[in-house]
Amino acid sequence: MIGYIKGVIEEIEEASLLLDHGGMGFRIYVPAALLGQGIHTGDQVKIYTYLHVKEDAMQLYGFFTRDDLEVFRLLLNVNGIGPKAAMGILSALSADDLRFAVLSDDAAFIAKAPGIGKKTAQKLILELKDKFQLEDAFDKKMSHVQEEAAAKGDGGAGAEAVQALVALGYSGTEALQAVKKVEGADQMDAEAVLKAALKFIF
């Protein structure tokens, strides 16, 4: 019903934002990870939303990317997982991490999310495994790493080094943190940045 909302953040609470759009305040529940992305009151944002209708309430759940929203919707299709549990999963794990955990049958990793036991994690894997493709998961992960690197001003050789580290099996966060520690990376080629970054990982 509501695909997305553009507006100004009026309030930031523990699990939600109050977004002013055209003089109306929309309370939108968001993952904890989204609140840690350096957003502030007064920021203009675009949030992709899902409207959950209950007998006694209507609640909006929101995400900065369509990808996160799509994964949230997939989680809601899993028997026994409602919006609160789905939001808890996406607060503890990124959409990329969840995809790889499902594809690798890593129930223990998914069970790290609050309120998700090992049995629920195993059921989630069973019901979602045919919804994800490994090649698509890698493509999305690489795309998100490139976007994050660009957003942090890390282009050129640094971005290539981040991609190489992800291809070696490190998480996007680990790769970005290692590359950021390399002094003079903007004056080096990708191979030199990669070698220097590896010293910060091992």
pLDDT in tens, 126-138: 999 888 775 675 6
Distance CA 160, CA 115 (A): 38
Query: Do 142 and 121 lie in a common domain?
Result: no
Whole domain around residue 39: which residue ranges?
4-63
> Residue 94's domain is classified under what CATH number?
1.10.150.20
| Residue-level pLDDT at 29 | 95
> Residue 51's domain is classified under what CATH number?
2.40.50.140
State the total domains in the chain. Answer: 3
Count Cβ atoms below 10 Å from residue 88 Cβ, excluding itself. 19
pLDDT in tens, 147-199: 555 544 445 677 788 778 877 878 766 777 788 788 887 788 888 888 888 88
120 pLDDT exceeds 70?
yes
Among all chains, which residue has been given the structure tokens 């968001």? 30
End-of-domain residue from the set 132, 159, 186 = 132
| Residue-level pLDDT at 155 | 54
Report the pLDDT averaged over residues 91-110: 88
Query: Do 35 and 72 lie in a common domain?
Result: no
| Residue-level pLDDT at 24 | 94
Higher pLDDT, 38 or 181: 181
Distance CA 73, CA 80 (A): 13
Query: Do 13 and 49 lie in a common domain?
Result: yes
| Residue-level pLDDT at 152 | 47
Query: Do 27 and 44 lie in a common domain?
Result: yes
Closest CA to 96 of 50, 62, 146: 146
pLDDT in tens, 44-89: 999 999 999 988 889 999 998 898 999 999 999 998 899 999 999 9
End-of-domain residue from the set 15, 43, 63 = 63
Query: Do 184 and 139 lie in a common domain?
Result: yes
Query: Do 48 and 87 lie in a common domain?
Result: no
